[in-house]
Structure 1
Amino acid sequence: MMRSLLNTACVAALAFGSLAFAARPLEARDRSADGELDLGTIFVRGAKRPQEALSFPGAVAEADASELQAREVRNIADLDRVFPGLTVDTRSARVYSNFTLRGQSSLDYYNPSVQVYVDGLPQDPAVLAQMFPGALENVEVLYGPQGSLYGRGAVGGVINVTTTKPGEGAPFSWSAGGSDQGYQAQMRGQVQLGEGLWADLSLARDDAEDDLDVMGTGEDVGGTVEDRAQLRLRYAPEGSPLDIMLSAARNRIDSSEEQFVKGTDLSGRKAVPFPSDYIQDTDSYGLTADYDLGWGKLSLLTGYQDRSLDRTIFGSDTPEWQKTLTQELRLSSATGGPVDYVVGLFYSHTKFHRDAYGASTLQKTDSYAAFGDLTWHATDRLDVTAGARWDYEKTDATATGAVSLDGSDDWSALSPKLGVSYALAPDWQAYGIVSSGFKAGGFTRTLTPSNISYTYDPATTWNGEAGLKYRSGDGSVEASVAAYYSVTDDYQMFVGPAASQYLQNVGEVTAKGIDARLRVNRGAWGVTGGATWGSSRFTGYDDASGTDHDGNDVPYAPDFTARLAVDYTHDLGHGRGSLIPRMGLSYQGKVWFDEANSLGQGGYWLVDAGLAWDMGQDRVLDLYATNLTDETYASYGFDASGYGLGDVYQLGRGREVGIRFTQSF
């Protein structure tokens, strides 16, 4: 079946490009004074090389910092209020958030299906839901398997976060806000230390107050305080080919959010009386260096993250620690030639330690990869893109205490892709692509005496996609539509009772659907929206217990999502600035929390609204409301009959109304 799917998709992609030769010529396309085609300046940052967004053979969506702030998107977990097809559900705590993109659900929260990168550096899976780094500039989502560029864990896609570097942007900026549910404050300042030498410091706090009280005692719980500090140093002399940046950041989350409410009384918001809280500390360090060779760019990216999680859940202590080192060296071409390319090498080392339920586990993983990706500009209308990545990974695992384990295993994978993009007209682009991704095998990290299996095999995903894009000449209107079909063999997920879940392969999953996006900025109006229709099903379920869930929905994968944001700018005149009323809507279809499809959350709408007064001179006063209708909804649930509770659920936060002031100078 997989071979048939790949062959069909490849033929369709190639035929798609060849048939397009019959379309009209591009004489209408704007050209610069020297006669070169004017392709615009919007590039896909996650392509690891300059690649124009319109001709990129794949679905991409982006939002800048101002758009995200207008929707009260304060952390990466809130991005599902903006990007269609993306859902983020807290699984007990934000450190175990489930990211689902195009039906690919992160049912192994230690190895999610969506990768998050910040300034080119991969992030520890347990910090994917953290607040944004200081000087946020842009967030970009690449849909579908990105294995040829990013390797393991990018079968759903990639979220690429970019910040404003030291030496760019305003010298100083700050914001402060308060609401009926807490307060937020952040600042960033930068200073020039010498010729081409810049430093900046960012500080931020987000305090979400308790929103639940404990049954019987009335104790307030459910709040979270998150603090972040980041210091960066950048050396980039004007006219020099060298650009180096060092960064150091510390992030702390102190939370009692990991609370559960009985399914018989969700609206009462009464937490069950079991101690649950955690403190997570993460130290992150980065070194990025670029050297402009004229005909290309040589880049070195090194990251290190040291994370500790001191966690108590339902009265049980389950602390864990992880240290991760990543290194990437790549060479990318400059634009303008007949072929654009990027080639590179990657290495990572991860050390994971967990103590829980009488067992102490330790795993060490080394990963190696080589990758290449190129685009051949076959004609002034046709681009052909091909890429491949080879990964090798080895894990050594030991366990002592209630469980004994001493094992070692290794895996390798080849992840190719092939795509074509064809300009049907100056503003219209069609594309087709076949891409692949994989998730490495390993040893389950949640060892308990009741586990059925300790090891699991790699999972492989193949995806076929075709789409159509539009961007008006002045960039005021952008639209896209895409259809996709993907099949994953040896799908990985946690199964079994909540207290003793283990990771294993459960057979085949098929995901298919259509997504569409629209962005309009004309005159005083701004409209951004999109929707995804699809399904993600078990089409060959086979687990070690012999249970059959064939035909069931994959947990946390809704069949329909929709996002819409509308704003209008009213000029007050005479130097008084402008008023910007806005409204945002997001819909998430029904999701299941288990493979048996017995516990779930029905579809629901979230409504956001706001009124901003842009006073000019980079000063904005903003009134906002999130979850305006105070919708009660669950983000996670499980059968807690073993605790005498029946079904229990974790709730999303209710309505929040607040005010915020932002200034840059």
Structure 2
Amino acid sequence: MTKRSGVTRATLAATTILAGGIAAPVAAQDGSVDLGQITFEVQGAEPVGDAVNPETLSGMKTATGITEVPQSVSVVGRETFDRETPRKVDQVLRDVAGVQSQLYGYDSDTNWFYVRGFNAFDTGAFMDGLSLFSYGFGTFYVDPFLLDRVEVLKGPSSMLYGASSPGGVVNYVSKLPDGTEGRSLSFGADSEGRAWVQGEAAVLVGSDLSYRIGGKLQRQDGHGMFDPGLEGVVYGGATRAFADGSRLTFHLSYTDMDEDHVGGQFLPYYGTERDAPFGRFDDYFNAGNPDSDEYDREQLIATGIYRRDVAGWEMTDTFRLGYADIEELYQYPNGYESGQVPQPGDGLSPVLFHHDSYATIAQNDLRFTREVATAGVSHDLLVGLDARRYRLDEEQSSYFDAANPLPPIDPTDPDRDIDLPATNNTYIDGVRVQDQIGLYVQDQLRWGDGWIATVNGRYDRVWSSFDDQGPADSDLDRVDDAFTWRLALAREFGSVTPYATVGTYFNPQVLDAFSANSEDADPETGRQVELGVKWQPNPSSLVTFALFDIQRENVSQSLVANGTIDARTLGEVSSRGFEIEADVALSEAFRLRAAYTDLDVTIDDYSPDTTIEGKTPQSVIEEFGSLQLAYTPLALPELELRLGARYRGDSWADNANTLSVDGAWLFDAGATWDFAENWTADLNVTNLADERYTASCQTSFGVSSCWQGEGRVVSLGITRSF
């Protein structure tokens, strides 16, 4: 496998703590003190490199190898990002077992993923172990340039993280200063018109200060965009070591996006997945209007981590403040004039939508770890307290005038010169707040000849509110609490570690602005049973297998009754299946990476319409996998050639399972070449055969919407390290 020189890929999350907490170690600093050997990096978040069994913090919140985490976990390192030059994080997740990513095709401004059949991009997205909770359009976007690795912990994880998705946690791990030095400059372009340039520098100052800075500028184009857009990302971080042995890291990132919407979105089922009277939509068909199309995001995330020893315990305090200011204007199709099934000559029925969302988040996770031994048993103890406040000030509006409706859109030759009116129907205007505080404990016990038991418990209390600033003035308020847990047992037999885990989760409902009944909606709850085995036959290979059963209860449903929306907890959904993931060195020259997922996701209970019980939820793909073979010629070790295949199985566009969505085979190829000293080229071709397919479809209020899959894209990136 080829290797890059230059900047070593930095570590995990960054740190700040409350001003009073920082003051003490700063005051203790004395330039004349010999600090000895300093470890700047966070254990469990080091650069992955060629490790197939790296330590991870996601599964235990303590540095633990993948084979010792009693739950399925996958780690994708910066090295994969470098090879594939991905446009978004969800692109590198499509080769992870259990993860269905890019559900909405190429959407340039959001990372989309389901884990084990359940949406995990709103309450399952974390960064450096802290939730990037989002609701509606109040989301936080993370560019792959900011990350050292992405970790996926599959299955319910409330016992560590509190309110979260039943599918699992996707944890983005930031690049941070870790005491290494180097610089790099990269630039590249792809066949859709995207072009980028990015640079980074890491410096060690004396023996106690390490810092790292970087910036990226990207032109976004193609995929049906009317005009090119721009994205800028900058970050900076510093780690300081103090005479008392404590370490403080601070990390700040800023993201600015100004672009149009891509095509291939919100298209009707007929014309996308099945023929309409006019045939099929063109690739990346954009039903928008160039003069009424904008997407603007300004985002700042400040993260810190402070580490020190306190009375025999290792203390870690992680803190974050962030905001995201997003404004969007978009005309999109909402079925045909005749409804779901088009008639000859039908136009698309347009909706003009606008939102202005301002989300803020404040978090702190304080935890203490310690190793103790009692009666032949070693204990890795963890005690923690975390708190989070998410606030979303949002306004959503559309255009509605029965006397002067928007003109229909021609599905084959849309008129781009129509002047659209401003939106005039504000249906959400208010402030949504969710506060959470949780206390958690964990004990990982080791004894005898390879026995490992893990015990977790956590208590959370959540306050949710909606301050309605619209004419209805229907304020909502609710308090929830829950205890969640995990029990696991594993046994190491040389290179093989089988395990069994059972655990629970909860996820409070976000109060729905449309319905006062949401105030009475109970939190989602559920449990998972997982059996698995992890096999590391040699230091260069790892194979994992997991068999699981997840039960999801009190699933929130929004119903239309008598012209109004009624939100309640009505449903139960289960997800059963198995996953296989392998990263195997077949020889010195060949490496095989493979992932396969087989799910059975079922609507078990839905009281308003029992006919859909036993059906598969819309958009969920139940069978998918990938295979990649990498070849490094022994006579030319600076070259790596890759060939891969991805399979996306069938899915449904509706919960009644009457509108099927066909699966597809997709092929990829790539090469990485260290063609000169400190110079590397990365060439990638995704969807090599330019296969036309549908990423997913869903039906809402009787109208189906589909998203076209991404066609062939050729990209070339060049990196200079020095």
Please state which band the TM-score falls in when normalised by the shorter chain. 0.7 to 0.9
1:288 equivalent to 2:305? Answer yes
8 Å Cα contact 2:478-2:519 kept in structure 1: no
Letter paired with 1:63 = V
- Name the Cα RMSD after superposition: 3.0
- Give the distance between the partners of 1:349 and 1:465, measured in 2 at CA: 32
8 Å Cα contact 2:53-2:542 kept in structure 1: no
- Give the distance between the partners of 2:85 and 2:389, measured in 1 at CA: 36
Moved more, 301-310 or 616-625: 616-625
Aligned with residue 205 of structure 1, among 210, 217, 242: 217
SS state at 1:318 partner: strand
1:271 equivalent to 2:275? Answer no
Deviations 1:531-569 (A, max 9, x none): 0111111001135xx574211212332111102221111
- Give the distance between the partners of 1:436 and 1:552, measured in 2 at CA: 24
- Give the distance between the partners of 1:162 and 1:317, measured in 2 at CA: 32
Alpha-carbon shift at residue 523 of structure 1 (Å): 0.6
Q: Check 1:352–1:500 CA distance in 2 against 1; reply closer, same or farther (3 A cut).
A: farther
Moved more, 97-106 or 480-489: 97-106
Deviations 1:243-266 (A, max 9, x none): 211111111232323543454223
- Give the distance between the partners of 1:205 and 1:652, measured in 2 at CA: 26
Alpha-carbon shift at residue 276 of structure 1 (Å): 4.2
Alpha-carbon shift at residue 160 of structure 1 (Å): 2.4
Structure 1 partner of 2:235: 230
- Counting only pairs closer than 5 Å after superposition, residues 154-169 of structure 1 correspond to structure 2 as 154-169=165-180
Letter paired with 2:239 = R
Moved more, 141-150 or 194-203: 194-203
- Give the distance between the partners of 2:262 and 2:559, measured in 1 at CA: 20
SS state at 2:93 partner: helix
Structure 1 partner of 2:7: none
SS state at 2:469 partner: strand
Structure 1 partner of 2:457: 388
Letter paired with 2:97 = P
Structure 1 partner of 2:712: 655
Q: Check 1:496–1:191 CA distance in 2 against 1; reply closer, same or farther (3 A cut).
A: farther
Aligned with residue 63 of structure 1, among 76, 86, 92: 76
Structure 1 partner of 2:472: 403
1:505 equivalent to 2:569? Answer yes
Aligned with residue 129 of structure 2, among 112, 120, 133: 120
- Give the distance between the partners of 1:166 and 1:244, measured in 2 at CA: 11
Structure 2 partner of 1:248: 252
Alpha-carbon shift at residue 459 of structure 1 (Å): 0.4
Aligned with residue 584 of structure 1, among 644, 655, 661: 644
Q: Check 1:309–1:270 CA distance in 2 against 1; reply closer, same or farther (3 A cut).
A: same
Q: Check 1:460–1:641 CA distance in 2 against 1; reply closer, same or farther (3 A cut).
A: closer
Moved more, 647-656 or 348-357: 647-656
SS state at 1:443 partner: coil
Q: Check 1:615–1:501 CA distance in 2 against 1; reply closer, same or farther (3 A cut).
A: farther
- Give the distance between the partners of 2:499 and 2:633, measured in 1 at CA: 39
SS state at 1:250 partner: strand
Alpha-carbon shift at residue 505 of structure 1 (Å): 2.6
Structure 2 partner of 1:49: 62
- Give the distance between the partners of 1:542 and 1:206, measured in 2 at CA: 48
Letter paired with 1:161 = Y
- Give the distance between the partners of 1:502 and 1:242, measured in 2 at CA: 53
Structure 2 partner of 1:103: 117
- Give the distance between the partners of 2:687 and 2:567, measured in 1 at CA: 35
Structure 2 partner of 1:178: 189
Alpha-carbon shift at residue 320 of structure 1 (Å): 1.2
Deviations 1:212-258 (A, max 9, x none): 2xxxxxxx538653321111121136x86212111111112323235
Deviations 1:393-435 (A, max 9, x none): 0112121325331121100011111000012x21111100001
Structure 2 partner of 1:318: 355
Aligned with residue 514 of structure 1, among 565, 578, 588: 578
Deviations 1:470-490 (A, max 9, x none): 112x41221111110111111
- Counting only pairs closer than 5 Å after superposition, residues 178-577 of structure 1 correspond to structure 2 as 178-181=189-192, 182-212=194-224, 220-221=225-226, 225-236=230-241, 241-257=245-261, 259=263, 260=265, 261-262=267-268, 263-264=270-271, 265-274=280-289, 275-292=292-309, 295-314=312-331, 315-334=352-371, 338-357=378-397, 358=426, 359-423=428-492, 425-445=493-513, 447=514, 456-472=521-537, 474-492=538-556, 504-521=568-585, 522-543=587-608, 548-572=611-635
Q: Check 1:555–1:154 CA distance in 2 against 1; reply closer, same or farther (3 A cut).
A: same
Structure 1 partner of 2:679: 619
8 Å Cα contact 1:606-1:628 kept in structure 2: yes
- Give the distance between the partners of 1:79 and 1:502, measured in 2 at CA: 38
- Give the distance between the partners of 1:173 and 1:441, measured in 2 at CA: 45
Q: Check 1:465–1:502 CA distance in 2 against 1; reply closer, same or farther (3 A cut).
A: same
SS state at 1:404 partner: coil
Letter paired with 2:86 = V
- Give the distance between the partners of 2:607 and 2:300, measured in 1 at CA: 40
- Give the distance between the partners of 2:87 and 2:327, measured in 1 at CA: 24
Aligned with residue 140 of structure 1, among 120, 127, 151: 151
Normalising by structure 1, what TM-score? 0.83
8 Å Cα contact 2:251-2:304 kept in structure 1: yes
Deviations 1:107-165 (A, max 9, x none): xx6x43x2322x3333243556531243x332221111111111111421122233443
8 Å Cα contact 2:125-2:133 kept in structure 1: no
Structure 2 partner of 1:18: none
Letter paired with 2:254 = R
Alpha-carbon shift at residue 621 of structure 1 (Å): 1.3
Alpha-carbon shift at residue 105 of structure 1 (Å): 2.6
Alpha-carbon shift at residue 600 of structure 1 (Å): 5.5
8 Å Cα contact 2:557-2:571 kept in structure 1: no
8 Å Cα contact 2:663-2:693 kept in structure 1: no
SS state at 1:523 partner: coil
Normalising by structure 2, what TM-score? 0.77
SS state at 1:300 partner: strand
8 Å Cα contact 2:183-2:721 kept in structure 1: yes
Q: Check 1:333–1:591 CA distance in 2 against 1; reply closer, same or farther (3 A cut).
A: farther
SS state at 2:144 partner: coil
- Give the distance between the partners of 1:390 and 1:628, measured in 2 at CA: 49
Letter paired with 1:462 = R
8 Å Cα contact 1:222-1:257 kept in structure 2: no
Task: State percent identity of aligned pairs.
Answer: 19
Q: Check 1:615–1:493 CA distance in 2 against 1; reply closer, same or farther (3 A cut).
A: farther
Alpha-carbon shift at residue 648 of structure 1 (Å): 4.4
Letter paired with 1:204 = K
Alpha-carbon shift at residue 299 of structure 1 (Å): 0.5
- Give the distance between the partners of 2:363 and 2:653, measured in 1 at CA: 33
- Give the distance between the partners of 2:713 and 2:531, measured in 1 at CA: 40
- Give the distance between the partners of 2:222 and 2:530, measured in 1 at CA: 44
- Give the distance between the partners of 1:60 and 1:128, measured in 2 at CA: 23
Segments of structure 2 that go 5 or more residues without pairing to the other structure are 1-51, 272-279, 332-351, 398-425
- Give the distance between the partners of 1:413 and 1:641, measured in 2 at CA: 33
SS state at 2:68 partner: coil
Deviations 1:471-520 (A, max 9, x none): 12x412211111101111111356669x9977543311111001111111
Letter paired with 1:615 = F
Alpha-carbon shift at residue 188 of structure 1 (Å): 0.8
Q: Check 1:167–1:486 CA distance in 2 against 1; reply closer, same or farther (3 A cut).
A: closer
